[in-house]
Amino acid sequence: MMLVVDKVEFTYRSRPVLRDIRFEVNRGELFSILGNNGAGKSTLLKCLNRILKPQTGTILIEKEDLSTLNRREVARRLGYVAQRYESGRFTVFDAVLLGRKPHIKWSATPRDLKIVQDVLQVLGMEELSLRYLDELSGGELQKVVIARALAQEPRVLLLDEPTSNLDLKNQFEVLKIVKKAAKEQNIAVVVVMHDLNLAMRFADKFLLLKNGTIFACGGMEIMTPENIASVYGVQVTVERLAGIPVVVPL
């Protein structure tokens, strides 16, 4: 098991935000966290990354307790892509190279440079290497941020709404990249998502959050009209079109 979360709870200004959160993610899995706005999805992701410190509970990566590791050691194991990020006057290559920072002691080694080149090649971004971030489209910039996280060689990749503000083509491209990284690099990927149809198309497992607690956790068997209606407050049906599950509000 790559990631084990057990009894995690987080309180902000005496208000419970997360209560008794427990789940596991295997190597090669894409695990989707779903729920309404304010359910605690982004807070949970920040607890997993030690940006926020849970009041109780344990988070294990390959049986190592995250709370015993320093920030550099955490960054070697966890890649994190936030909802919002700043673009600057960096080239794409230099921006992705920043992902090697947790591994670099004095200066970038030939191995660091090769890892960046390999990541850019895998993502089909070699032609963008010398472009500046502020010259990129939203979809291109999102791929750069994911490439930087992958350059860290993380064991767990965390993404907070990676497809928000992207058009349909880029939504699919970004999630295909993430899915491929999970399988080929044998890492665990945890993604906060809003779009149920994208989640069901790409994720292996799901966590339905409601009011800071787990409503359901598992595979496609939990993505029922009854569960979705209970979590989102909308009556839906789940149909299959060309073998692909689709949520249709009623």
Amino acid at 44: L
Instruction: With residue 129 as reference, give the H or E element that holds it.
Output: none
- For residue 11, is pLDDT > 80? yes
- For residue 233, is pLDDT > 70? yes
pLDDT, mean over the chain:
91
Residue 207: phi and psi, rounded to 5, are -125, 115
Residue 13: phi and psi, rounded to 5, are 50, 50
> Does the global pTM surpass 0.85?
yes
- For residue 212, is pLDDT > 70? yes
| Residue written as token pair 């596991």 | 24
The answer to whether residues 55 and 32 touch, using CB atoms and an 8 Å cutoff, is no
- pLDDT at residue 33 in the model: 97
CATH value of 3-220 in 3.40.50.300, 3.40.190.10, 3.40.50.1100, 2.60.40.10: 3.40.50.300
- For residue 211, is pLDDT > 80? yes
Instruction: Give the gyration radius of the chain's Cα atoms.
Output: 18
Other C-beta atoms lying within 10 Å of the C-beta of residue 208: 23
The answer to whether residues 25 and 44 touch, using CB atoms and an 8 Å cutoff, is no
214: closest CA among 230, 200, 225, 235? 230
CA atoms within a 13 Å half-sphere pointing along the CA-CB vector of 18 = 27
- Please list, in sequence order, all residues whose beta carbon lies within 8 angstroms of the beta carbon of residue 215, skipping any fewer than 6 positions away: 35, 208, 209, 227, 230, 231
The stretch 51-72 carries a mean pLDDT of 92
The answer to whether residues 80 and 49 touch, using CB atoms and an 8 Å cutoff, is yes
| Residue written as token pair 């350059």 | 151
The stretch 56-75 carries a mean pLDDT of 92
Q: Is residue 122 very low, low, confident or very high in pLDDT (cuts 50, 70, 90)?
A: confident
Other C-beta atoms lying within 10 Å of the C-beta of residue 167: 12
Residue-wise pLDDT for 133-179, tens only, equals: 988 888 888 889 989 999 999 999 999 998 887 889 888 988 998 99
- pLDDT at residue 124 in the model: 85
- pLDDT at residue 138 in the model: 83
In whole angstroms, give the CA distance from residue 219 to residue 23: 12
